[in-house]
Amino acid sequence: MSIIEPNPLLSAPNGPLRVCEFTPTAAGKNNSFVLFSLVIPTYKERENIKNVVKILTQILNQSIPGEYELIVVDDNSPDRTWEVAQSLIPEFPHLRVMRRTQERGLSSAVVRGWQVARGQILGVIDGDLQHPPEVLLQLLRAVEEGADLAVASRHVDGGGVTTWSFIRRFLSRGAQVLGLVILPGVLGRVSDPMSGYFLVRRCAVAGALLSPVGYKILLEVLGRGNIREITEIGYVFCERQEGESKVTWKQYLEYIHHLLRLRFSTGHLAIFTQHMGFPIGRFIRFGLVGLSGVFVDMTVLYFLSEPHTLALPETLSKIIAGEVAIFNNFLWNDAWTFADVAMHQRGWHQRLKRFLKFNVICLVGLALNVVIFSLLRFIIPNRYIKNLIAIAITTIWNFWVNLKLSWRVTEVK
Ligand code: GDD
Ligand code: MN
C-alpha cells in the first residue's frame, strides 16, 4: 500500500531544456490547461515566498481567476524554501512547487518550470518582490492583445531603479553595452535585456532548444525563440525587503559566457560552428589557455636565464620554460577546456596518458611553427607577421589534433 502525499512536489524534468508545444498530453494527467503559468524561481527566499504567493494570487484573482497557475522552482535551498512553499498549497491550490536537486541556476530553473507548465502564456517573476506584481496585469494584457513577448523594463517611461549605487548602475549599463556590441540583433530589440520579469507566448519558445547560462534567461528567449511582436512596460525595480541578492562576480562572467555562446550558435556564425562542426567555444578556451602559457613561459625564462637570477644557458632555460608552459596549459585544458571529456576518464593513469599525448602534439606543433616560419620567408618579409601566422596555424593544429587524440573519449562504458 502506498501512502499518497497530500501535496506532492513536482519532479524536475531532465533532458534537453526545451519547452513543448501545447498538446493535450502536455497538460498532464488532470489535463487542465490554463491561460497563464507564472514561474517563480527561488533560492533562499523563505522569508519572502508566502508574501509573493499571496500578493500574486490577489492580483491575478482580480482578472483571471481559475485560469492561472503559479510554479515555484526552488533549487533545494538550504533554508528549505521549497518546504515553506509546499505548505502553502492547501491555501493556494493553484500553486505548484518543484524542488530541484540535480541542477542549479536561475535560467535553467525558469525553463524547467515552463516545461511542466500548463499555460499558453508563460511568465517569470523574481521571488523577492523586487518586481512589482501590479505590472503583471499590464504584461498579461499586452500578450492578450497580440504581443509574443511582454517585458517589464526599467528603461522606458515609468521605469527605473530605486536606490541603486553608482557602481551597480554602471555595471548594469556596462553589461548592456557589451551585450549590444556582441549581439546587437538580440539585445537591441528591447530596452532592458537584463530584465528577469516578462511574459512570452508558449508558441514563441516551444520547440527551441534553450541553452541558458547563469541569470539572463531573456537573452535566450530573444536569441532562440520566434519572437515577432514585443511590448515593453515600465517598472521600478524595488528594494529587497527580506533575504539577499545572489548576484556575485560569477554572474558577470556567466553573462559574458552566455553572450558568446549565443553569438556563435545563432545567426551567420552558426553555419560555421554548427554545420561545419567546429567547436568554437572550446577553441576560444584553448586559445585563452595558450595565452596563459605565454606568460608562464616568459616568466620561467626570466627566472632561469637572467644574469642576476639563475643565469642558466639560454637554450636550456628556453627548453625548461617551454615544458613548464606545456604543463600549465595541460592542467588548464584538462580542468576547463575539455573538462566534460576529462570527467569521463578520471584517474591518474588516464590523466598521465592525456598529458603525454598533449606534450608530444605540442612539441610537433613547435617544430611545425619553426618550419612554417622559415617557409614564409619566401612570401612575407616582416618577421613578426610571419611569426603571427605561424603561431595561428600552430594553434589550430594543436587544438585540432588534441581534440581528436588527447581528449577523445576512448573508453565506452
Ligand atoms: N531556482 C533558483 N536557482 N532561483 C534563483 C537562483 C538559483 O540558482 N539564483 C537566484 N534565484 C532567484 C532568487 O531567489 C530570486 O527570486 C530571483 O532568482 C532573482 O535573484 P536575485 O539574486 O534577487 O537577483 P537580483 O535582484 O540581484 O537581480 C535581478 O536583476 C535583474 C535586474 O537587473 C535578476 O533577478 C533579474 O531577474 C532582474 O531583472
Ligand atoms: Mn532580487
DSSP notation for 184-239:
HHHHTTSS-TT---EEEEHHHHTT-B----TT-HHHHHHHHS----EEEEE-EEPP
Is the model's pLDDT at 247 over the cut of 70?
yes
Provide, rounded to the nearest whole percent, the portion of the chain with pLDDT above 70: 94
Question: Is residue 413 pLDDT above 70, yes or no?
Answer: no
Report CA(60)–ligand 2 centroid distance (Å): 21
Task: Judge whether residue 70 has pLDDT over 90.
Answer: yes
Q: Can you tell me the distance from the alpha carbon of 69 to that of 110, in angstroms, rounded to the nearest whole number?
A: 14
Give pTM, 2 decimals: 0.77
- Ligand 1 pocket test, pick from 46, 50, 126, 187 with the greatest ligand atom count within 8 Å of Cβ, gives 126
Res 94 pLDDT > 70:
yes
| Separation of alpha carbons 407 and 289, rounded Å | 15
Q: Is residue 233's pLDDT more than 90?
A: yes
Length of the chain: 413
pLDDT tens digits along 259-272? 988 888 887 777 66
The answer for residues whose C-beta is within 8 angstroms of residue 382's C-beta and 6 or more apart is none
Share of the chain above pLDDT 90, in %: 64
* pLDDT tens-digit series, residues 49-67: 999 999 999 999 999 999 9
Closest to 108 (Cα-Cα) out of 1, 223, 211: 211
- Grid coordinates 552558426 are at which residue? 270
Distance CA(89)–CA(160), nearest Å, equals 34
E strands, 63-178, are 68-74, 95-99, 119-124, 149-153, 160-161
**pLDDT at residue 107 in the model:** 96
Q: Tell me the three cell numbers of residue 379.
A: 612570401
Measured from CB, residues less than 6 Å from any atom of ligand 1 are 41-43, 45, 73-75, 104-106, 109, 126-128, 130, 172, 194-197, 215, 237, 245-247
pLDDT at 412: 47
Domains belonging to the chain, first-starting first, are 17-271 (3.90.550.10), 279-411 (no CATH)
Ligand 1: nearest atom to the Cα of 152:
39
Query: Whose C-alpha lies nearest to ligand 1, atom 33?
Result: 194
CA–CA separation, 142 and 232 (whole Å): 9
What SS3 state is found at 350? helix
**Contact of 71 with 96, CB cutoff 8 Å:** yes
Report pLDDT for 142.
98
pLDDT of 29: 55
Which segment, 71-85, 184-198, 317-331, is predicted with the most confidence on average? 71-85
Which residues have C-beta under 5 Å from ligand 2, the single-atom ion?
128, 130, 245
Is pLDDT at 44 greater than 90 in this prediction?
Answer: yes
pLDDT of residue 1: 46
* For the CA of 48, the nearest ligand: 1
Q: What is the pLDDT of the chain when averaged over all its residues?
A: 90
| Residue closest by Cα to atom 36 of ligand 1 | 196
